[in-house]
Chains A and B, each alone.
Chain A
């Protein structure tokens, strides 16, 4: 996290584009010819280890991932996964609050952590010869967390300010929160990662420790080390530091409440006087990449590129260039997910075009696309870019490490990650159309309008 820019302007439009681009990169980066640089192992206590070698610079990224995120919380304590992630910087039996980050900095490194629906991760980026020290501290906080009431109180205020910053101050974020809650009728994906405010204010040590003891154990974790290291070194250090930690014998399978059949389209209008640029976003419940069965997800990933991946995409050709009704159109698909994910379509109308008209035009464009089929040349270009992205990916081993981490904590295996490029290459135009017809099911959709209150005049 860094400071917000003070005078650089990034139109919100570009934020959309970045979101989509990131998704594409995410899909692509996980698999590159970097496969040759990947080695895996598992310790006796169940800790899975992945080493990604890149010897161009004397740098190493050390990441510890837990197969537990906000969707693994118990009802009533939303935000506790993320709260605990903060608390892991607040001291152990062996380290004072803040000591870990201070030691990392003293060694010229940087550290951070993140929480998502399906995973929580901690990482440091340091000179390669400091890897052992990083492991020593990370292993310590896997089991030795020790917190006082003062740390709990202060850190709870910090995460509430974090919610203020990310969500309360941003009408689009507030709208997305409502839309996800409407999308997921039963799954915890409908609850925000940061938590609902009314539950966040009640988070306490007990809730945090319960989540910690349930989920933080070597047999529920994944160690990824990427950079200027050899697999042998990493394994020896991992055995030394993580090896002595006992597995949690009571670790339960991740059987989370699943979605029932969705049988009614949902619509919501989110009004906020702070909205300056209204838009329409629709999400559909969609299948994710499953181990051994990624074909449909590959077709959906390519569908999102065909429809919304840049200037030459179908929606932009039709709505931005030909009909001149939108300033931006996009599509998004997050295939890496443990349970059902979403496929999204978004249109940002030009001035003077109502949300209703924009939505109607979007529907018409999608219907036309289903009639017209996929343009062969466009698909060829997309696949060529996908191949090239595997070459570019080798320049950023940290991002590759992230992709492996996400995939392997979302139910996929290294084999799945490595099979992905061929599966994508084999997707046909017919596969994409079939995936489109299946995913665009009104009954599993949520259509959201973001607008100012005074605009409620259609």
Chain B
């Protein structure tokens, strides 16, 4: 409970976490998903919703920051940051002015496994908005002046991250876990790697990332299938057929134990985790339900109850499944004052062990099913949210029918099945904690 009202940062976290846990999605909403395949061979999912005169368009390109060459870390992220910095004759300012005139919004973002492009535009500006978006994706200018300026912004962000305990924890965990895989380092790169990036590196990253063999599309709003089809061929038709090969499976090198990263701050920030289940694993849905009970988003999870409600050790403690494309984890996070974090970790270890040993109770499973199936239709409550759900389903390899089948799949899970998965998945011996702060009474193993 309680987000202080005037704290945008908190909301940022909420969004980011939602993206991480994107897993099982709703089932009973009354929406009609059309599968569109364009003459040019691009497929998309569409929900027509003419009641508000705008369109939410979501594009995803598989690959993301992990496509960076080993000595070019940060190239993809910098390249994506430059997409809105001009195309053709337009420089960054002209591009921004045009976007403002259209009252459209384009958001470009880089993740480990994907690049996301989210566009919102008014129906009566569709042609102009799509021409502008096309320019940014297919023919970005990559002017040296813009490269230097955006590079400085990335470097500023990297500098800030060096003293952000959450960032330090994430990077330490990744460094210890993923060996020589791109996952081991930040997709933003390091100060040195970013400084060294040239315009050629940016151009190469663009060619590697944007291709028709890896694009996913969803659209929701005031647009017909015919219009969408024509629009997509125009928008994406000039992209190359294929991009760079995706990286291979990441190793997972973290063994059970504890790593303390000393940092002078009053509250220790803790990340913990071990191997998890891939999104396409047959037990994934069971694991999702278990996680909901154990450390899911609500105020009523086991971890919240034990660590916060009973002991007042933290403001928030959560667990989540992290099914990346090349590694799968089950993880959690908590923050606790330096002199209380040892107790916090002890409680979490104990709960982790108990979950592996005893699983869920019948009551907990029933309550989780009621919550998850009841919450399902509530997610489909706007063009933007629906477009996001649809693109997530496509990337997870699910068909449109999943929307109607999902609740039944949740209902069908038995206690035996769920507890077999809990026993296989939750291993306190394998659990590794990364602590950033000045924790008292913790022995590094």
Contacts and interface: CB of A to CB of B under 8 A. Distances in A.
B is a partner of A: yes
Interface in A240-279: 273-277
B381 interface: yes
A40 interface: no
B377 A58 contact: yes
A456 interface: no
A394 B52 contact: yes
A402 B100 CA distance: 25
A311 B153 contact: no
A112 B10 CA distance: 13
Interface stretch (B134-142, B162-170, B206-214, B243-251): B162-170
Interface in A371-404: 377, 381-382, 384-385, 387-389, 391-392, 394-397
Interface string B88-105: 000011001100110100
A114 B5 contact: yes
Contact of B160 (A164, A277, A385): A277
B309 interface: yes
A169 to B, nearest CB: 5
B51 interface: yes
B13 A106 contact: no
Contacts of A204: none
A13 B314 CA distance: 28
A58 B374 CA distance: 11
Interface in A92-117: 97-98, 101-102, 105-117
A218 to B, nearest CB: 22
Interface stretch (A45-53, A152-160, A425-433, A439-447): A152-160
B188 to A, nearest CB: 5
Nearest to B382: A395
Interface in B46-60: 49, 51-54, 56
A436 B413 CA distance: 62
A109 B374 contact: yes
Contacts of B52: 391, 394-395
Of A85, A86, A111, A327, chain B has the most CB atoms within 10 Å of the CB of A327
A457 interface: no
Contact of A154 (B11, B312, B316): B312
B387 to A, nearest CB: 10
B163 A166 contact: no
Interface string B1-27: 111111111111110111110000000
B112 interface: yes
Contacts of A114: 2-5
A377 B309 CA distance: 55
Interface residues of A, number: 100
B322 A112 contact: no
Contacts of B45: none
A2 B318 contact: yes
Contact of B298 (A57, A101, A107, A320): A101
Contacts of B159: 276-277
Interface string A316-336: 010011001001100000100
A356 interface: no
Contacts of A184: none
Interface of A: 1-15, 18-19, 22, 56-59, 82, 85-86, 89, 97-98, 101-102, 105-117, 119, 121, 125-127, 153-162, 164-166, 168-169, 171, 193-194, 227, 273-277, 310-312, 317, 320-321, 324, 327-328, 334, 348, 350-351, 377, 381-382, 384-385, 387-389, 391-392, 394-397, 406
Given A2-B14, A276-B163, A389-B103, 4 more contacts: A5-B20, A6-B331, A161-B337, A162-B315
5 cross-chain pairs, A with B, having the tightest CB-CB distances, nearest first:
A108-B374, A11-B157, A157-B312, A388-B103, A116-B5
8 contacts: A1-B10, A7-B174, A112-B2, A276-B162, A350-B152, A382-B100, A388-B122, A391-B54
Interface of B: 1-14, 16-20, 29, 49, 51-54, 56, 92-93, 96-97, 100-101, 103, 111-112, 120, 122, 149, 152-167, 169-171, 173-174, 183, 186-188, 264-267, 269, 271, 297-300, 305, 308-316, 318, 320, 322, 331-333, 335-337, 367, 370-378, 380-384
